[in-house]
Amino acid sequence: MRKMPGCIFCQMAAGKKPAGVLYEDDQCLVIRDINPKAPVHLLVIPRKHITSLNEDLENDTALLGHLMTVVGRVAREQGIDGAGYRTVINTNAEAGQTIFHLHIHILGGRALRWPPG
Ligand code: 5GP
Ligand code: ZN
């Protein structure tokens, strides 16, 4: 599994930093965002270190698909599937990416405006 030294999400995936894991399997983990922007704000994090969607991910399509199935599963478990929720992947500076290990935000538990800021 590709890891990046010093990457906080790699450290969480390796169990070297407490993360309060809500769900995990062999490919990913789900944690609560430390600075939540909605009543439910989760992060789906692949164990593999992928910097962002800007990488060539042609060989990672199964992993990316799996992450999407985990989004739905966790949303159902959190009870936000009916009312609705938003999934977000920020890529690079103008989108607000601050951690350069791919992750999917799940935001729910309140009405979300569109377009985002
Ligand atoms: P980005 O800005 O890269 O799209 O998202 C990174 C997210 O990770 C932010 O929403 C930020 O609040 C969250 N985050 C940063 N450090 C930690 C941490 O140590 N623990 C948790 N649970 N979330 C973190
Ligand atoms: Zn990483």
Secondary structure of residue 3 in the 3-state scheme? coil
pTM, two decimal places: 0.97
Q: Which atom of ligand 1 is nearest to the CA of 32?
A: 22
Backbone angles phi, psi at 87, to 5 degrees: -110, 135
Tell me the CA–centroid distance for residue 114 and ligand 2, in Å.
30
Question: Cα separation of 31 and 41, whole Å?
Answer: 9
Pocket-testing residue among 8, 11, 89, 98, ligand 1, by greatest number of atoms within 8 A of Cβ: 98
17, two tokens: 């930093």
Encode pLDDT of 13-56 as tens digits: 999 998 889 999 999 999 999 999 999 999 999 999 999 999 99
Note whether 31 and 13 are within 8 A (CB).
no
Q: How far does residue 83's CA lie from ligand 2's centre (Å)?
A: 32
Measure the CA–CA gap between 48 and 40, rounded to whole angstroms.
Answer: 24
